[in-house]
Amino acid sequence: MTSLGRTEFAVWSPGRVNLIGEHTDYNDGFVLPIAIDRGLRIAVRSRLDRRVILTSDRGGSPVAIDLDITLAPGRGDWGRYAEGVLAGFQRLGWQIPGFEAAITADLPAGGGLSSSAALEVGIATAVEALAGRSLPDGDKPLLCQRAEHEFAGVPCGIMDQCAVALGRAGHAMLLDCRTRRLRHVPLAADTVRLLVIDSGVKHALVDGEYAARRRQCESAAALLGRPTLRDVTEEDWLRDRDRLPALERRRAGHVIAENARVLAFAAAVERGEWPEAGRLMGESHASLRDDYEVSCRELDAICAIAAEADGVFGCRMTGGGFGGCAIALVEASSADAVVDRLKERMSAAGVHSAGMFLTRPAAGAHVQG
């Protein structure tokens, strides 16, 4: 007797690229990410029992989850992201039916494009469709962020889950992480394109450096007598920064300047001032490299070559750092030529990339029609 039910559909859940505003989200600051046109496709089929079975084209053993028990953190494999999301729905008292989910991906795992947020938000979207109801606006990213905190042990901010859940085609998202207010900023696809360059260096935010940055920011804010670094004005900063020990001063200096850069970047995009937007990306990268210390040699080399190339307005590392991808803002009219030129320059300089692709802002996670 088959255990499969009759409901069948597919969810598309994108990866994300952050254009600017790095390590600002957990400081209640501003970010400007996009959902991209690469991600995860999750083919869903309901089951007649209360089991969830997940499979992935990336290999790894299938994951089995029993919905009749109260789910708790502790799982070591990739199933923990889904389990954390399902636990969130259990807490809300939703009656979740069993289901099978077959995941196929065109997003590098651990490559800094938020494959984990794509999985969390994708599973949450599947649960909503199976249950025939939706979480209130804005609650889905929070539920998924909590899954990442509690079940994956990564104390991430809210950016990735918001970008994946709420992206809009053709627009970047200016997100105030304090209020979670969102403004969609049109990004003219006929003028500029976005190029993702994968350094091939796998990052592991779980390894403690990410959490350490978070603590250093909290300590800097406390020493400045403010609840968060978002509350430190330019005036406060100029007056009080010398009270901070050198490490906290560099970390906080990055966050405070980066918040200002996000707003300036959004304004430049709205005015079509691409050289200015590119310049801000360069400043952001330098600050992440020198003051926040989350870049790596490979990303620095990629950004240095890209930033100098004709047709590139600017380039910076994107995401948590310690590897992963760089993002370049390129002239749409010469985008393909820019890709060829960069490949040549990088290979001449002995700089390796695990791949590059042009992308554009795409819609957030949704059931495919």
Min CB(21)–ligand GLA separation in Å? 7
Q: Is 232 exposed, middle or buried (0-12, 13-18, 19+ CB in 10 A)?
A: buried
Question: Which of 25, 160, 198, 300 is labelled catalytic?
Answer: 160
CB-nearer residue toward ligand GLA: 159 or 330: 159
Min CB(25)–ligand GLA separation in Å? 5
CB-nearer residue toward ligand GLA: 67 or 123: 123
CB-nearer residue toward ligand GLA: 100 or 283: 283
Is residue 281 within 8 Å of 266, Cβ to Cβ? no
Is residue 34 within 8 Å of 194, Cβ to Cβ? yes
Phi then psi for residue 179, to 5 deg, are -95, -15
Min CB(163)–ligand GLA separation in Å? 9
Helix (H) or strand (E) holding 232: none
Min CB(47)–ligand GLA separation in Å? 31
The Cα–Cα gap between 18 and 261 comes to 13
Binding footprint of ligand GLA on the chain (CB under 6 A): 22-23, 25-26, 156-157, 159-160, 319-320
DSSP code string of 277-319: HHHHHHHHHHHHHHTS----HHHHHHHHHHHHSTTEEEEEE-S
CB-nearer residue toward ligand GLA: 157 or 311: 157
Catalytic residue flag (residue 160): yes
Question: What is the token pair recorded at 96?
Answer: 């979740």
Min CB(322)–ligand GLA separation in Å? 10
End-to-end CA distance of the chain: 30
The Cα–Cα gap between 113 and 362 comes to 14
DSSP code string of 77-146: STHHHHHHHHHHHHHTT--PPPEEEEEEE-S-TTSSS-HHHHHHHHHHHHHHHHHT--PPTTHHHHHHHH
CB-nearer residue toward ligand GLA: 278 or 319: 319
Catalytic residues, which ones?
160
